[in-house]
Amino acid sequence: MNDNIDNVINEEWSEDAKQKNVYGVLYIVSTPIGNLEDITLRALNTLKAVDLIAAEDTRHTIKLLNYFEIRTPLISYHEHNKHHKGKELINELKNGKSIALVSDAGTPAISDPGEDIVKLAVESNIAVTAVPGASAVLTALVLSGLNTYRFVFDGFLPVQSKERKKRIQEIKDEIRTIVIYEAPHKLKKTLHDLYEAMGDRSVSLARELTKRFEEVRRTTLAEAISYYNENQPKGEFVLVIEGKSVEELLEEKQLEWEGYSVVEHLNIYIQQGISKKDAMKRVAEDRGMNKRQVYSMVLEEEG
């Protein structure tokens, strides 16, 4: 049966199913990132109860299912088959089947396939729910000893040099704590590129999280570079990098604006269509001054 016929038939079935309100539910199920005891009771019950489990790597997930004696049928859904498998999964859901999506480790859709199927399901009015659990981002963040109140997650840095440079430029001035993932064979290059762009910063390198030989190295970028020059990186890493300090950012901005007089600085904003009042406010912020100081400098400069 070709793809089109398949879709048409399923579309008809699904309209029927929709009327009866019997669409299945898509469950985004988190699995452990190392320690099998981190599976939740709800995850186990869901994996047992659904009609189908869609897994990033079926050989990997089968081990988890065997360990917990779960016999639910398993199908693969990964980066390279997600386009046609996504459609198949949506058809199954429209036909009333419930599906659990799992990845190799942790929370699906965070730097692994999942994002697309959730989008498709949402577009198709299929109910999506999450069964939360382990996540490498949060585990590494809370162990880092760095600020956790505000943070950004940037996934894996791009490999291609142009995109990589652009991404590093984007994060180098970030004041929130930055979390990224990295594979062992790329760690040294990443540390080096980050150091070059950001200078020395505190960094926490977490590996083997929740496993027997869990390691969290709280150090600086420069120290990490020399450590990994002597020691071969092993295992997958989560890097938690201190954000840029507000003082440093302000200092840099002030230096940037030093080439302009206060009036010139003010006019740059006004020419962008910003009101004089708001422009004053921005100039004051950029220069680390208060508005009254800016106002009197403008008066002075304008003589």
Q: Which parts of this chain interact with ligand SAM (CB under 6 A)?
A: 33-34, 103, 105-107, 110-112, 135-137, 181-183, 206-211, 236-238
| Nearest approach, Cβ of residue 138 and ligand SAM (Å) | 8
| Nearest approach, Cβ of residue 21 and ligand SAM (Å) | 32
| Nearest approach, Cβ of residue 58 and ligand SAM (Å) | 16
Helices (H), the chain: 3-19, 41-49, 58-67, 82-94, 115-123, 136-143, 161-172, 187-198, 221-230, 246-257, 262-271, 276-287, 291-302
Decide whether 143 or 263 has the Cβ nearer to ligand SAM. Answer: 143
| Nearest approach, Cβ of residue 234 and ligand SAM (Å) | 11
Decide whether 90 or 209 has the Cβ nearer to ligand SAM. Answer: 209
**Look-up: residue for tokens 């007089």?**
261
Angle ∠(188,136,74) on CA atoms, nearest 5: 115
Decide whether 13 or 228 has the Cβ nearer to ligand SAM. Answer: 228
The tally of CA atoms less than 13 A away on the side-chain side of residue 16 is 9
Decide whether 46 or 107 has the Cβ nearer to ligand SAM. Answer: 107
- Position of minimal CB gap to ligand SAM: 106
**Which residues partner with 52 through β-bridges?**
99
| Nearest approach, Cβ of residue 232 and ligand SAM (Å) | 16
- Treating both helix axes as pointing N-terminal to C-terminal, what angle do 187-198 and 221-230 enclose, rounded to 10 degrees? 150
Which two three-digit tokens encode residue 230?
A: 């002597």
Decide whether 68 or 156 has the Cβ nearer to ligand SAM. Answer: 156
